[in-house]
Amino acid sequence: MTKKVARVWVTTTQAAAELGCSPKYLRENRDLFKRGTHYRSLNPRAWRPTYRWHLKNLQTFMAASDDPPDPPAADKRSQSAES
């Protein structure tokens, strides 16, 4: 019998998909989040570090935040075309 365990720390792509934002939004807005609580770097000295995100903490933070995440780029284009 195998038991599926939910992952606590997920990749940037997985976190973005769950939150409904783009991976770029998470990477470029890390200053909104707290290192060690919301994200961690797997290789902090790398030219482009790899991040892991604490999904539950991110969801709690985003739910409490007044500033919702930006929609993915495709949605922005369709919204500006409708205006």
Whether residue 28 lies inside any domain: the answer is yes
Residue of 23 and 67 predicted with greater confidence: 23
User: Residue 40 pairs with which residues in a beta bridge?
Assistant: 52
Q: pLDDT, tens digit, for every residue of 28-40? A: 999 999 999 999 9
- The length of the chain in residues reads 83
pLDDT at 8: 87
Residue 68 has pLDDT above 80, yes or no: no
Count of structural domains within the chain: 1
Q: Distance between CA 55 and CA 53 in Å, rounded?
A: 6
Q: How far apart are CA 45 and CA 52, in angstroms?
A: 15
- How many whole angstroms separate alpha carbon 26 and alpha carbon 43? 17
Residue 49, domain CATH = 1.10.1660
Residue 22: inside a domain: yes
Average pLDDT over every residue of 4-20 = 86
Percentage of residues in the chain with pLDDT exceeding 90?
48
> 79 lies in a domain?
no
- How far is it, in rounded angstroms, from Cα 70 to Cα 56? 19
83 lies in some domain: no
- Is the pLDDT at 61 greater than 80, yes or no? yes
Find the domain containing 16 and state its range.
9-72
